[in-house]
Every structure is written in C-alpha cells, then in structure tokens.
Amino acid sequence: MANKQINGRPVAGPSQASPSDVVTAGAAARNSLLGVSCALALALGHSGVAQAQNTADNLGDEALAAQTTQAELQARIDQADDEVRQRIEALRQAEQEAQRLQSYNQALAPQLEQLKATLEQRSQGMATMAETRDALPGLLNDMTRRLDAWVDQDVPFLHGERKARVASLEASLANPELTAAEKLERVLAAWRAELDYGRDLDAWRGTLEEGDQTREVDFLRLGRVGWYYLTPDGQNGGVWNDGDWQSLSAAERDQVEKGLQIVRDQRAPELLTLPLTQPIEERS
C-alpha cells in the first residue's frame, strides 16, 4: 500500500504509522484548540470589561440620583418641620387670643345685661313716645302751676326772685321757637332750684319791711325749716312763724349771729339752738 503525504511529508497508513507521527498530529490539534480558546477568552474578556464598565456607570448614576432624591427629601422634611413649627406657634397664639377674648367677654357680660335691660326700657318708652309727646305740653303747664303755688305757700324767703323764675318759665312755655325738650329742661331746672333750697344754708343782707318801716337786716336761712333776721347791731332779731315775724331773745339772737358766721365761713360749724319756722314733719 502506497504511503500518503501530510503537509508534504510522507505519512504511513494506519498499519504503518509510527508513534512519533501520532504525537506530532496530536500536538498540532491541541495547538489549534488552544488558539481558538485564547481567541475566545480574549473576546469574552473584552466583552466583560465593557459590561463591567457599563454596570459601574449605571451604579454611579443610580447613586447620584439616590443622593439627589435623598437631599430633596431632606429639604422637604426640613420645610415640613418649619411649617409644623409655624402652625404650632400660630395655634398657641390663637389659643391665647381665645382665652383673652373669653375673659373679656366674661367681664362685659354684666354690662351687656344692663345694656339689654336699658334697651328694653327704651323700647317700651318708644312705644309710648307718641302719647307722651301729645301729653307733654299739658304736663309742663301743670308742673309750672304747681311750682307757682308752692312758692306762694312756702316760707317767703327770696320771694321776688322765686316768683320771677316762675314768670320766666311761663314765658318759655308760651314761646313757639323753643322745642319741647328745651321747655322740659327749663321746667326741671326751676324745680331743681326750688328743691335745692331745702338742702342748703344761706345768708344775705336785704331790706325788711314791717308795716310802714323799712330797715336793712341780715337774713339767715336754714333750709326750709328756719328763716331768721338780725339787725346789724344785733339788738333786734326775729324768726318767721305763722306768716309773720316773731321776736327772738338775746340768747337766740346770739345763735343767729353764730349761724351767720358759720354760713359766711367765719366760724367752725356747730350745733345751733333756734326756734323753727315750721315743724320738720310739715316740710313740703
């Protein structure tokens, strides 16, 4: 059987191949496989490095995104904390203001109740205002007539002055230019003046007429219960009683002199012992 050639070299047939030829062929095959393996490993190595680089880049981006998200979340938390603190402070201020308002309302409650009662009274007064307005002129005239009668029946101290006040009041009521309120005020003022005579003390110098005689004396008035006179020399004095003057004793004239000094702030107040012009139980 003819010999075959491999790579220009003679190769024996199966039955005739030498051991060295078999070893040489095996080594060549292994070298071929090793080359393929190295090429494949090199290719896989380049691919793994690229993949690893991409993975690292992705991880870095994800970490940066996570940090950014964390920073934004922390900023939101801080902002929320500030808002919560502000709302808590606003709530505290609102509670304090509510407490102040509650205390203020409690303090105003009695005044509001009184105001309510006043308003109710005024509402009732408004309901009868028309009737009162119609009745007012007659009421004012009646009060003026009663005042005039009182002056005539009362102790006649300052009689001319008091009668002149009543006459002026009658003229005011007849004046169409005055309003009803002004007329009412004048009537009330005249009555107040008469009532004040019963609460004060007074002393003045005037003329005393007794029959055909007229002389200058000092008058002393103790409310409406006592009206006296004393001559400047202190030798004569009297008390008005039962529509006429009655003489006073020397001791009583001394008491009148003390009374004149007290009213004129020339002496400290003290108790006086004098006869009365009219009993206290009969005062008007």
pTM above 0.85, yes or no: no
pLDDT in tens, the chain (284 residues): 444 444 444 444 444 445 455 445 555 555 555 555 555 555 555 556 567 677 767 777 888 888 888 888 888 888 888 888 888 988 888 888 888 888 877 887 888 788 888 888 877 776 777 777 788 899 999 999 999 999 999 999 999 999 999 999 999 999 999 999 999 999 999 999 999 999 999 999 999 987 788 999 999 999 999 999 999 999 999 999 988 999 999 999 999 999 999 999 999 999 999 999 876 554 44
Tokens of 92: 């505290």
Closest CA to 163 of 153, 178, 173: 153
Residue with tokens 């940066």: 64
What is the C-alpha separation between 104 and 111, in angstroms, rounded? 11
Tell me if 186 sits within 8 A of 172, measured CB to CB: yes
List strand residue ranges (DSSP E) for 143-283, in order: 201-210, 213-222, 226-230, 237-241, 244-247
Tell me if 225 sits within 8 A of 278, measured CB to CB: yes
- Measured CA to CA in angstroms, residue 66 lies from 20, 54, 55, 76 at distances of 67, 18, 16, 15
What is the C-alpha separation between 171 and 164, in angstroms, rounded? 11
Amino acid at 179: T
Tell me if 12 sits within 8 A of 21, measured CB to CB: yes
What is the C-alpha separation between 206 and 221, in angstroms, rounded? 13
